[in-house]
Amino acid sequence: MSHVCSIVEDLLPLYKTKGLQADTTEFVEQHLATCKHCQQLAATKLSSNQNLSMKSTLTFFHLIFIVLSFVFALNSSLLGDHKSFVALYALFGCLTYLFYKNIWIVFAISSIPVFVWAIINNFSNPLYIQGLSFMDISALIIGASYIALLHTIFALLGSAFAIILRRF
């Protein structure tokens, strides 16, 4: 087994899912045409329907981005009487999508911190909480959901812009 065989063996899962660039696919196919060992290996790996487990790890940069997004969410939200939250959340959604390339993460990062902050911020507000009744808690949760929804809409609009940007 040569050095090239080791490389081709590592590339076989991506070759199977057509995840390689054209030049790399050509390289793998040329090698498979001449190497009996790799042909057998490819037949074994390609015929077995094994899903490779992708190790999902949180990198240091992801953690910093999440912390910064929470701080950004709390400092630029409607709750802080900042009227610029519309533009900031659109920019925030765009950048978050470009960083993670996942709309669900944009949704979570743009809604959860604002929802939690709205509950904490309004828990002592007599408009929402006059006692600890079911109606008061319900009003608090509905109000927090509404504020989080507003922020999320603008973040999703920003991420839609990012999706369009990635297409071009």
What CA–CA distance (Å, rounded) separates 10 from 93?
36
**How many other β-carbons are positioned within 10 Å of the β-carbon of residue 74?**
16
What the block records as the tokens of 136 is 């008061």
Backbone angles phi, psi at 49, to 5 degrees: -100, 60
Q: What pLDDT, on the 0 to 100 scale, is given for residue 50? A: 47
The tens digit of pLDDT for each residue in 102-149 reads 888 888 888 888 888 888 877 777 766 666 778 778 888 888 898 889
Bigger pLDDT: 3 vs 48: 3
What CA–CA distance (Å, rounded) separates 27 from 106?
38
Q: What pLDDT, on the 0 to 100 scale, is given for residue 51? A: 45
Residue 53 has pLDDT above 50, yes or no: no
- As a whole number, mean pLDDT of residues 13-27 equals 86
Q: What is the DSSP string of 21-59?
A: -HHHHHHHHHHHHH-HHHHHHHHHHHHS-PPPPP-----
- As a whole number, mean pLDDT of residues 138-162 equals 88
pLDDT averaged over every residue in the chain: 78
pLDDT band at 160 (very low <50, low <70, confident <90, very high): very high
Does this model's pTM top 0.85? My answer is no
The tens digit of pLDDT for each residue in 59-100 reads 677 667 666 766 666 666 555 566 676 777 888 888 888 888
Decide: helix, strand or coil at residue 159. helix
